[in-house]
Amino acid sequence: MKILLTGCAGFIGMHVAKILLDRGDNIIGIDSLNEYYDPSLKNSRLNELLKYKNFTFYKVDIADQYAIEDIFSKEKPQRVINLAAQPGVRYSITNPYPYVQSNVVGFLNILEGCRNNNTEHLVFSSSSSVYGSNTSMPFSTQDNVDHPLSLYAATKKANELMAHSYSHLYSLPVTGLRYFTVYGPWGRPDMSPWLFTSAILEGREINIFNDGNMKRDFTFVEDIAEGTVAALDKLPLGNENYSTINPDPSSSLAKYKIYNIGNSEPEKLMDFIGELEKNLGKVAKKKYLPLQPGDVIETFADTSDFENNICEIKKTKLSTGVEKWIQWYKTYHKI
C-alpha cells in the first residue's frame, strides 16, 4: 500500500514507519522537524528511514493547509496514519497556542486531505490523557471523557470529535488510538525515562511528583507500533447495534472506532525508577514534590475491545523494556 505517515521522525512515528517499510509498503513521510526538542534526535530517526528505497520524505508542518493539500493531491495515499502533534501535558499549560495550531488546525488539514482524496482509512493517535479526572479503573473507551485536565488532553478529545464528524458526513473510515505512557528506544528527551536516565548518570537530582505516589501503564514503544499497524489493517465498520439512547462513546453508526493501546498493568513510579537504577548501576538522587497541574495519579488501560476486534496486543514486561531502553540510550550517547 501507499501510506501517508505524519510525524514520521517522531518517537512512535519512526517505529511505525519501520514496520511498514520492512513489510514492503510505500511510505510518504511528513514531519516538520521542529525544535520542541533537539532536532538532531529527529534527524537521526529520519536517517534510519531514509535508508529505505520505499520511503519518501516531505519536511512540512501539517498546519500548512496548502502544502498538505498538494501532498495529498500528488501522492494519493490509500491510507493515512496521523501521529504528528504537539506533545506534552505540562508544556501545554504554559504554551497553549502550538497545541491548537498543530493538534486542531493541523488535524483538520489531514481530515480534509483524506475526504477529498478518497482515503480508505485514517488512523490517528489520541492519548490516555483524555480520561482526565476519571478514577474508575481500568480506563475503558466506554467511559465518559468530558473532563480533561490539560489543554493537550482537550485537543486530543477534539481530534476524536472532529474525526467522528468526518466519518459521519463523508463515510470516512477512522480509527483513533489512545496510547498509554509510551517508553523505549528513540524516546523523547522531555519524557521521564530520558530525564531520569540522564540525571542519574550525571549525578543530578530527579524530580518525583506527588511524593512518588503515582502509577502508570508503561507501554513499550514497539508494542504500540505493532498495535498501530494492526489497527491500520482493520477498517472500522459502523456498529449495527449502536444505541442512540445509550450511546457507546467508542463506536458509532458511522465507520468510526476508538481503542486503548496499553500494557494493562499499572506500575508504581518508584518501581520504574528502581528498574532504571538497577540497569544503570547507580542510585538516583531524589527530590520529592507535590502533584503537578494536569497530572493524574494513575493510568490503566482496558484493551479488551482492541483485542476482541483487532488482535492480541504484545505486552512487554517493564524489566525487559527498561533494559532495552537503557541499552539504546547508552549506544546513542556512546556511553
Q: How far apart are CA 140 and CA 123, in angstroms?
A: 19
Contact 300, 139 (CB under 8 A): yes
Q: Position 69: which residue type?
A: E
User: At a CB cut-off of 8 Å and minimum separation 6, what does 317 contact?
Assistant: none
User: At a CB cut-off of 8 Å and minimum separation 6, what does 72 contact?
Assistant: 4, 113, 114, 116, 117
Give Cα separations from 161 to 69, 74, 110, 191, 214 (angstroms): 22, 28, 14, 27, 29
Burial-class residue 23 by CB neighbours within 10 Å (0-12, 13-18, 19+).
exposed
- The candidate with the shortest Cα–Cα distance to 186, out of 38, 314, 52, is 38
Question: Residues 152, 179, 183, 259: which is the catalytic one?
Answer: 152
Contact 140, 82 (CB under 8 A): no
Residue 66 annotated to the active site:
no
Provide the annotated active-site residues: 152
